[in-house]
Amino acid sequence: MLDLTTVDAGYGETQVLYGISLTARQGRVLAILGRNGAGKSTTLKTIMGLLPPRAGAISFEGSPMPKRPFDIARAGIAYVPETRDIFPSLTVRENLEIAARRFAAKGGEWTLDRVIDLFPRLGERMDNGGTQLSGGEQQMLAIARALLMNPRLLILDEPTEGLAPIIVKLIHQKLMALKQGGLSMVLVEQNFGFAASLADDVAVVGKGQVVWTGTPEAIRADEAAQHRWLGV
Ligand SMILES: Nc1ncnc2c1ncn2[C@@H]1O[C@H](COP(=O)(O)OP(=O)(O)OP(=O)(O)O)[C@@H](O)[C@H]1O
Ligand SMILES: [Mg+2]
């Protein structure tokens, strides 16, 4: 449903991505793995229109990807960035309501009630400000907000970064439930076990290029690739 074909991108004078080709399939989870600085977040920012591709092509559901982030979101892609980007001065409720209103006309299965069923903790924190939330609660809010856009594809950049093991486990359960519900996802992770257990397809990025693709079973069995590209 999402295809990148030989995409180059970078920041100013610096080229970071060199001919990235990737495919995310409908109803499946694609994990993008790679070391620090490999170009994983840059790949996601390029997909989301935050960085323009300098070469190559990106398509979504068979059409060229719109250029502006707003239009990309409206096309059905929700993005949870590394920084989570919740509004710190607004309450949990306000953060959620903004997201719910954004594409309200579109309708869809995800409502305020349903995201609170998924993350009951957020229901208890509705009137707390964004800055009063723990890292785990912020991540739950960021995911809940993305779901309220009723996306056809959910893109997550290192959802477990900096979280305690018990919260990582909880986020894992929730993402597994979303996968079982049929949601298509692209998941960038440093946590190899977390990603491998959720993914259907794996792509490894190294130095701005796709250096390995295959199944989670194949990357688990390929210790040389893990060592070389993931530092596992
Ligand atoms: N805003 C920026 N301006 C200039 N260079 C950047 C910028 N953001 C990232 N880079 C550079 O681009 C390269 C790839 O960074 P990127 O953030 O895509 O890596 P990553 O794979 O997501 O790493 P991590 O696992 O640490 O998040 C790095 O060399 C980084 O220094
Ligand atoms: Mg990153």
Residue nearest atom 17 of ligand 1, based on CA coordinates? 41
Q: Is the dihedral of CA 71, 93, 171, 137 positive or negative?
A: positive
| Residue 218, in any domain of the structure | yes
| Residue 28, in any domain of the structure | yes
Position 232 pLDDT exceeds 80: no
Ligand 2 centroid to Cα of residue 160, in Å, is 12
What total of structural domains would you count in the chain?
Answer: 1
| Residue 84, in any domain of the structure | no
Question: Percent helix, strand and coil across the chain, each rounded to 5?
Answer: 40, 25, 30
| Residue 66, in any domain of the structure | yes
Ligand 1 atom showing the smallest separation from residue 188 Cα: 22
| Residue 104, in any domain of the structure | no
Find the domain containing 44 and state its range. 1-76+196-232
173-190 pLDDT per residue, tens: 999 999 999 999 999 999
**Quick check: 229 and 204 in contact, CB under 8 A?**
yes
**CATH number of residue 27's parent domain:** 3.40.50.300
Ligand 1 centroid to Cα of residue 104, in Å, is 34
5-50 pLDDT per residue, tens: 999 999 999 999 999 999 999 999 999 999 999 999 999 999 999 9
| Residue 91, in any domain of the structure | no
pTM of the predicted protein model: 0.96
45-77 pLDDT per residue, tens: 999 999 999 999 999 999 999 999 999 999 999
| Residue 2, in any domain of the structure | yes
- Alpha-carbon gap, residue 197 to 205, rounded angstroms: 18
| Residue 170, in any domain of the structure | no
**Quick check: 102 and 95 in contact, CB under 8 A?**
no
